[in-house]
Amino acid sequence: MTRRSARAGVLDWWRAVLDETKEFLDEGTDRLRADRDPRWEGEVAALRELVAELTATVDGLGPAGGTSPPRSH
C-alpha cells in the first residue's frame, strides 16, 4: 500500500506542477495578447501545444490507465 500511495503522491505533485505551469503560461499569453505583438504568436501557440501534450501525458499516468480525478480550477 505504501508504494501505491507514494505513486499517487508523485502523480499529484506532477499534476500540481503542470497546473501551475499552465496558469503561468496563460497569464503570460494574456499579457502578450494585450501587447498585440505579432512576433510572439508562433511562440504562444507552440507553448500551448507543449502544455497540452504534458497534460495528456500526466493524465495517462493516472490510475486505471488514464482515469484521473477532475481538476479544480
Query: What would the pLDDT profile of 8-66 be if each residue is shown by its tens digit?
Result: 888 899 899 999 999 998 898 888 777 766 777 788 888 899 999 988 888 888 765 54
Helix (H, G, I), strand (E, B) or coil at 67: coil
Burial of 36 (0-12, 13-18, 19+ CB in 10 A): exposed
Decide if pLDDT at 5 tops 60: yes
